[in-house]
Structure 1
Amino acid sequence: MSYIIKTASEIKKMRISGKLVSEVLEMIEEYIKPNISTEKINNICHDYIVTQQKAIPACLGYHGFPKSICISINDTVCHGIPSDSKNLKEGDIVNIDVAIIKNGYHGDASKMFYVGKISDLAKRLCEVTRESLYQALNIVRPGIPLYKIGETIEKYVQKEKFSVVKEYCGHGIGYNFHEQPHILHYKNKKNNNIVEENMIFTIEPMINTGGAEVKCMKDGWTVKTKDRSLSAQYEHTILVTKDGCNILTWQKNETIPSILINQP
């Protein structure tokens, strides 16, 4: 499998794209309150990306997706479409997935937000999902097989008695929104290509409180858990360095450093 190893000038552009994505996720936090519509959240993000950042929302029109960001609530796993008729309510957990294009290059990240006071189960799900991503980030370095990323996530999540969605994965990213390699979030030894310095890809585990099975709704985008259990996701775009990785979409409230030195 041929991966796109990024050049110094591409990495410089992708650092900018990643930073812009993190700024959108930081900016929108204050608006995540009961009764706001997901359409309004979408419009705030769209205007910020286009007007303030002078960038392009990568999701808008991508394979026909109708909005600028994805907003996935409670049992929605991913690709939730913002809508005027969908309002946040107290107790919801919400994933906001932002991807932007700046200078021709993409950045991509998502995180969970709490609407008011949430249940203990919902909180633990979000914490486990973020920790599964962090544990994966803490092993990334040149020389490891790609399946180690998924193995690390799956092992931790199963220990916590949750399940990993297998239908969707992380991906290479750069000039194109989705590039090789596929980054699986579960162990599959066929995914045995070796991580190399200056690769850039996303890791984005989707974790359910119930079963791992999902279904796509009639709109062709919205993916929900089959058993209607809660789902959470965290995503970062990362650059593989000579001795670890850089989190290009790192945000101010992270409990992990943006630069990771990962020893063998």
Structure 2
Amino acid sequence: MASSCATPGCTNPVIKPLACPICTQHGLRYVFCGQQCFKENYAQHKKIHTLMKQMADPAGGGGHRRTPPDGITCPLDSPREVKTSLPTWARSYNFTGDLRPALLSPRRPVTNSRVLTPDYATHPGGVSDSEQRDRASNNNIRVYGADELEGECNLRYACAMGREVLDEGGRALRVGVTTDEIDRVVHEACMERDCYPSPLNYYNFPKSVCTSVNEIICHGIPDYREVQDGDIVNIDVTTYSRGGYHGDLNETFFVGNVDADGRRVVQTAFECLQSALAMVKPGTLYRDLGSTIHRVAVANKCSVVRTYCGHGIVYHSNLHLRTSVNKGSLFHTAPNVPHYHKNKAKGVMKEGHVFTVEPMINLGSYEDTTWGDNWTAVTRDGKRSAQFEHTVLVTKDGCEILTARKNEPVMKWDPDLLQR
């Protein structure tokens, strides 16, 4: 008997589990409580199949895809016209907006021997075995104790390192810089702090940070495209410390002269997160955050993305620091924290819970699609999107923003901090 249905929010007992056949073919186990639940929720569930495509050999040989494949990378010393040319997949792709990708630099190596790597770092398909096992278990929400929060390399430390690394990436952002340069800055900042950049090789993601420009909702891959005057750019950083913890956060920046609509969607995304975090305290239902975020977005004539959600970040006590690879910590786990209205998220907040809230807010429709690189999520109507994210700890009477700036106990809108 399986422990729970793969449909978010479903509480039906799984007596006769129905496994997704496509997931089973790829060695993953996602089970549903029955045929009806599987049919009704397949449109959302099949999005995980996009991740699986990354692990497939494009030639059909049954192996893992090279990261990145031919037609996407070029050396750092290549001519500018080569670097800014379209990747092979993009030459026949029907884009929804004006943004176009460029080629990628070669993957950056981990040069610091003190850096502890998560289990997916060297996996040929970037698969996190610990996350797969976690999904097959009860997937309960972990309660953190004081010993896991304090001290060198523990959870607060990982989040503080994430804050420092994001600030380094933000300072490097300006008109004319490439998002590949932001990736270099973030990668080197991680190395300097004995941290692994968590996105690197996670299900074959080829870079150390996500940079999402204009209509990109999330998971934008840094490339040789130069940032333009008027762009809005989200920098999404996660650092993995030697203590075995991930610290996850992001911010959207104004680059140069951003128009009124661009500034509106960025401020709305900030206020959506601000309003949601004000609700975080023991006893709050996880599903209720989405209603508050929805109200703020609609009041500003924006919409809330439904495909992606906030998540827990778990440390497992079976980590042995004498080994160079952590077999236990999880980048993404329970709880799921949807950001949209009338969601069916399970769970009630308790003191000691740690999770991210990261609403993605669009100027137009909430609907999304994915580029041919199998990672970059964009708005279906090509309009711009913005996002902010923090990792938070539920405290006795509220929450602590673990990824906040120093001397910033609560979120406060200050556009000058985001202007580049």
TM-score with structure 2 setting the length: 0.59
Correspondence list, 1:46-61, <5 A = 46-50=187-191, 52-61=192-201
Preserved CA contact (<8 Å) 1:14 1:174: no
Task: Tell whether the 8 Å contact from 2:172 to 2:185 is kept in structure 1 after alignment.
Answer: no
Of 313, 316, 319, 1:173 maps to 313
Tell me: CA distance 1:154–1:257, structure 2 relative to 1, closer, same or farther (3 Å). Answer: closer
Residue 220 (structure 2) pairs with residue 101 (structure 1): no
Larger relative contact order (C-alpha < 8 A, sep ≥ 6)?
1
Deviation at 1:161, TM superposition (A): 1.0
Residue 168 of structure 2 contacts residue 185 of structure 2 at CA under 8 Å; is this kept in 1?
no
Larger radius of gyration: 2
Residue 89 of structure 1, aligned match among 228, 231, 237 = 228
Q: 2 CA distance for matches of 1:254 and 1:241?
A: 17
Matches of 2:286 and 2:377, distance apart in 1: 26
Paired residue secondary structure (1:173)? strand
1:190 Cα offset (Å): 2.6
- Output aligned runs, 1:5-20, within 5 Å: 5-12=143-150, 13-20=154-161
* Aligned counterpart, 1:3: 141
Matches within 5 A, 1:66-145: 66-84=206-224, 86-102=225-241, 103-145=243-285
Distance in 2 of aligned mates of 1:257 and 1:125: 17
Report the counterpart of residue 221 of structure 1 in structure 2. Answer: 375
Q: 1:230 to 1:254 in 2, by over 3 A?
A: farther
Over aligned residues, Cα RMSD in angstroms?
1.6
Preserved CA contact (<8 Å) 1:238 1:247: yes
Q: Distance in 2 between matches of 1:215 and 1:243?
A: 39
User: Match of 1:5, as an amino acid?
Assistant: V
**Alignment partner of 2:403 out of 249, 252, 257:** 249
Q: Report the 3-state secondary structure (helix = DSSP H, G, I; strand = E; otherwise coil) of the residue aligned with 1:113.
A: strand
Q: Residue 314 of structure 2 aligns to a residue in which SS?
A: coil
Q: Residue 26 of structure 1: CA displacement? A: 1.6
Deviation, structure 1 residue 156: 1.1
Could you tell me how far apart the structure 2 residues matched to 1:191 and 1:226 are? 25
Tell me the CA shift for residue 257 of structure 1. 5.3
Q: For residues 153-181 of structure 1, what are the alpha-carbon distances to aligned partners after superposition, in whole Å with 9 as ceiling and x for unaligned?
A: 01111111100000000000132110101
Deviates more, 1:20-29 or 1:91-100: 20-29
- In structure 2, the residue matched to 1:262 is none
Between the aligned partners of 2:342 and 2:155, the Cα distance in structure 1 is: 29
Would you say the 8 A contact 2:169–2:235 is kept in 1? no
Which residue number corresponds to residue 261 of structure 1? none
Deviation at residue 237 of structure 1 after TM alignment: 0.2
Between the aligned partners of 1:247 and 1:122, the Cα distance in structure 2 is: 26
SS of the aligned residue for 2:240 comes to: strand
Report the counterpart of residue 344 of structure 2 in structure 1.
190
Q: How far apart are the structure 2 equivalents of 1:3 and 1:255?
A: 25
AA of the residue aligned to 2:156 = R
Does the Cα contact within 8 Å between 2:335 and 2:346 map onto a contact in 1?
no
Tell me how far apart the structure 2 counterparts of residues 44 and 156 of structure 1 sit (CA, whole Å): 34
Instruction: For residue 240 of structure 1, report the CA deviation from its aligned partner.
Output: 0.4
Query: Does residue 31 of structure 1 match 2:172?
Result: yes
* Distance in structure 1 (CA, Å) of the matches to 2:252 and 2:184: 19
Judge conservation of contact 1:172–1:201 (CA < 8 Å) in 2. Answer: yes
Taking structure 1 as reference, are residues 254 and 132 closer, same or farther at Cα in structure 2, changes over 3 Å only?
A: farther
Amino acid at match of 2:398: G
**Structure 2 unaligned residues grouped into runs of 5+:** 1-138, 316-329, 413-420
What is the deviation of 1:252?
A: 4.8
More strand by share: 1
Q: Which amino acid aligns with 1:53?
A: R
Q: Show CA shifts across 1:115-156 (max 9, x none).
A: 111011101110110011000000110011111111110111
**Residue 254 of structure 1, CA deviation:** 5.6
Cα distance change, pair 130–148 in 1 and its aligned pair in 2 (3 A): same
- C-alpha displacement at 1:10, in angstroms? 1.9
For residues 196-225 of structure 1, the C-alpha deviation after alignment (integer angstroms, 9 at most, x for no partner) is 110000000000000001001110100100
Percent identity reads 40
